[in-house]
A = this chain, B = another copy of it.
Amino acid sequence: MRITSTRLSDGRELRYYDEDSLPERTAVDERGLEPGSTEQGRMRFDALTGEWIAIAGHRQGRIFLPSAAECPLCPSSPGKLSEIPEESYRVAVFENRFPSFQSGGTEIPDTDRVPAWGEDLPAYGRCEVVAFSDDHTGSIASLDSAHMSLVMDAWIDRTRELGELPGVRFVFVFENRGAEIGVTLHHPHGQIYAYPYVPPWARGVLEQAARADLDGRPPLLADLVEAERASGERIVWQDEHWIAFVPYAARWPFEVQIHPVTDRSSLTDLTPAERESFCRFYPLLVRALDSLFDASLPYMSGWFQRPAHATEAEARDSRLFLRMVSNRRAADKLKVPAGSETLMGAFISDVPPEQAAERIRTTLESTS
């Protein structure tokens, strides 16, 4: 695998991930873009919840569901210059032109204390786009395992590199797919947010794990995986490296977690055999999910992993896993988190997790 790092005309970084056999990537961005907004986004502390909110007013102008002819993720061709100068590519990662978190942090931000009223912080960090393929119409489901491997190489490379930036506390590798989930670009792609804080959900998991440790219970995440394995009711697939299940307390109509069998705390810890197994299984799972309703399933998918610059407790309690959720509850119905979920965080699920697991397992068995 070969990484080529280059710069777009406005200075943003672009990286190609290729098999060694492919020709060198030498194309130059000829758009002559002006450097992006120098307006620094800010973060404000929500005293009611103890959470930081990024205020990114400069993003309102971003592109919304462009046609294929205007797609910024398609490769460039004469007369149609995109974010990716090459005429073809395998996997490419570049800095988002409208980032919620901008480069520039020079130290680990102290986001754990309660700030004085009105004291905001710069929204340092980094937002990147991961173009999975140069085919505008594909998706993870259409990648073979060699191609999926390059995607995973990109995830691992970015986790390592962004996690070393001084202003970053968590590297979140994720994908939003489907207009029903608010996706503004159809071209198959994921994203990476390097947050300047440990985001609330991850912090919550680490708090639950620390509480288990304090109570003398077994390590939370390993214990959970073991309990799901022992129960077996919600498992949709497993091999010697991974186990995939609908979680016991799923809150979305379709929700799958994929955990390594052996303790790994970050994408960077995976062995070659684990990577290979995941890259064979994951596109298959997405194909199976797409056959549930005979239509591309809208989903959000993202990795929980060890925070960057982790404290000792964070390192002890972190255990890598992937979480996928879909808001489709029937062929013609979406689950919309409304008052109970959005205002109070109280989730009501309409689909018993065992039923969802049974449907996914059956569909997966007939998918290849």
> Which residues of A does B touch, CB under 8 Å?
44-57, 59-60, 64, 100, 114, 117-118, 172, 174-176, 181-183, 191, 193, 195, 199-202, 204-205, 207-208, 211-212, 215, 217, 220-221, 223-224, 227, 231, 247-251, 300-302, 323, 325, 329-330, 333-340, 342-353, 355
Contacts and interface: CB of A to CB of B under 8 A. Distances in A.
Contacts of A223: 117
A48 B208 contact: yes
Main secondary structure of the interface of A (DSSP, over half): mixed
Given A53-B347, A53-B349, A55-B352, 5 more contacts: A100-B348, A114-B215, A117-B227, A181-B338, A193-B340
A49 B247 CA distance: 12
Contacts of A248: 44, 46, 117-118
Copies of this chain present in the complex amount to 2
A330 B353 CA distance: 36
Contact of A49 (B175, B182, B205): B205
A349 B54 contact: yes
16 contacts: A47-B208, A47-B249, A53-B250, A55-B352, A56-B349, A57-B352, A114-B211, A114-B217, A117-B227, A118-B231, A174-B339, A195-B344, A199-B346, A200-B346, A323-B343, A337-B342
B199 A300 contact: no
A214 B302 CA distance: 36
Residue with the greatest number of chain B CB neighbours at <10 A, chosen from A204, A215, A353: A204
A346 to B, nearest CB: 4
Nearest to A50: B208
Contacts of A51: 345, 347
A48 B201 CA distance: 9
A59 B200 CA distance: 30
Contacts of A343: 172, 174, 201, 300, 302, 323, 325
